[in-house]
């Protein structure tokens, strides 16, 4: 069966042919960008055109292109004045930028535990973590589930703190009719290759309905320049966007909806197949499309290492994300108070396993992945 479906090769987790159809376009864009009058390789007309095109996807919010999703979070926090003496509440389970961006500004990341099934930060834990020093809360969407942003907005309003939405993985997601990235005062998307709107390199955007915040972020991304060139109104960063990447993203934007739909259908099929496996130790994400994003499809498996080996033995690549919660990472140990525990984050780090969901998978490959997981749950596991 493995040979019939995979033809002797592994079903990849990351699509190796992600940009194959765009090869000639990309090469042509390199030539045209390099030979256009003025030879402006950063923050030119293509970047402006991409920002304007993306505005239509986020209810007309301001869009500011920058060098990465991580730098986008730094720009937002800097524009909000977060710094030494401040605290920012972040999930205890997730990607390092949740802690890095706060710590690098001299502020303190305060870790809040997560929901045991969805793996997004628990609003009740966020509220418990707020102190008089809290300047902002920064929930993150995880894998295929958006955080409970209505609850986060209410918490931020009640406590008078800023709300930053780490929507790096959630471009195209919609919760209660509102696009990901627009629930907080500002949000970010990441364009790194493996994201849903990934490009052939790095990049990202800041999204905000706050025109003044957008103005400050635009200045900060370009060394604090605002107005005449080489006149710096504030201390800024180098977080500029590449014209070649902008041109390539403009080329790929019309196909984004179809790629997201393909990911959504694959995820829905997995969830339907895996829902009966919960009593056998394999828990899929909750069903439905509202508040969903399709960057990564993750299950929680009681015997994760055994399932990982079983999949590999049958030619299916899988991926473990975040094998340690953030407060257990050496880099953030100084921000973990003695005696404090994050049990759901710890459990997720021991059980999470991501399955292939990239839009280049064939129906046969998707079915084969699902069959292989179900066979493991039924006891037919590889030695």
- What is the set of active-site residues? 195
- The rounded distance, in Å, linking the Cα atoms of 77 and 208 is 13
316 burial type by CB count under 10 A (0-12 exposed, 13-18 middle, 19+ buried): buried
Overall size of the chain counted in residues: 383
Tell me the HSE value of 141 on the side-chain side, using a 13 A CA sphere: 33
- The H helix count followed by the E strand count for the chain is 13, 12
Q: Where are the beta strands (DSSP E) in the chain?
A: 62-66, 87-91, 108-112, 134-137, 162-165, 174-175, 178-179, 186-190, 204-208, 282-283, 297-301, 352-355
- The rounded distance, in Å, linking the Cα atoms of 119 and 122 is 8
DSSP sequence for 192-213: STTSTT--SS--EEEEES-HHH
Q: Cα–Cα–Cα angle for 185, 186, 190, nearest 5°? A: 160
Instruction: Give the contacts of 214 (CB within 8 A, at least 6 positions apart).
Output: 62, 64, 206, 208
Q: How many beta carbons lie within 10 A of that of residue 272, not counting itself?
A: 12
């Amino acid at each position: 069966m493995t040979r019939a479906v995979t033809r002797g090769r592994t079903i990849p987790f990351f699509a190796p042919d992600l940009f194959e159809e765009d090869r000639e376009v990309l090469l042509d864009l390199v030539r045209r960008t390099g030979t256009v009058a003025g030879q402006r390789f950063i923050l030119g007309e293509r970047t402006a055109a991409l920002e304007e095109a993306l505005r239509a996807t986020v209810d007309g919010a301001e869009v500011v292109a920058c060098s990465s999703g991580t730098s986008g979070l730094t720009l937002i926090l800097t524009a909000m004045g977060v710094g030494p003496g401040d605290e920012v509440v972040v999930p205890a389970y997730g990607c390092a930028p949740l802690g890095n961006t706060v710590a690098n500004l001299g502020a303190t990341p305060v870790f809040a535990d997560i929901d045991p099934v969805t793996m997004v930060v628990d609003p009740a834990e966020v509220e418990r973590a707020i102190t008089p020093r809290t300047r902002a809360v920064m929930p993150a969407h995880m894998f295929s589930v958006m955080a409970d942003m209505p609850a986060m907005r209410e918490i931020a309003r009640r406590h008078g703190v800023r709300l930053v939405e780490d929507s790096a993985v959630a471009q195209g997601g919609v919760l209660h009719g509102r696009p990901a990235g627009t629930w907080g005062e500002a949000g970010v998307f990441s364009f790194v290759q493996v994201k849903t709107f990934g490009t052939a390199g790095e990049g990202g955007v800041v999204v905000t309905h706050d025109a003044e915040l957008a103005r400050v972020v635009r200045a900060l991304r370009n060394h604090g320049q605002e107005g005449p060139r080489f006149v710096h109104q504030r201390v800024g960063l180098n977080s500029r966007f590449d014209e070649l990447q902008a041109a390539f993203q403009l080329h790929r934007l019309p196909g984004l909806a179809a790629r997201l739909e393909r990911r959504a259908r694959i995820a829905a099929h997995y969830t339907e197949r895996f829902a009966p496996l919960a009593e056998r130790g394999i828990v899929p994400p909750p069903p439905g499309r509202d508040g969903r994003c399709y960057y990564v499809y993750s299950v929680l498996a009681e015997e994760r290492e055994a399932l990982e080996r079983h999949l590999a033995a049958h030619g299916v690549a899988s991926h473990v994300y975040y094998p340690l919660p953030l407060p257990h990472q050496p880099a953030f140990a100084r921000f973990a108070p003695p005696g404090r525990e994050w049990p759901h984050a710890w459990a997720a780090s021991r059980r999470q396993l991501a399955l292939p969901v990239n839009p280049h998978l064939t129906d046969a490959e998707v079915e084969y992945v699902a069959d292989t997981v179900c066979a493991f749950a039924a006891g037919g596991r590889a030695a």
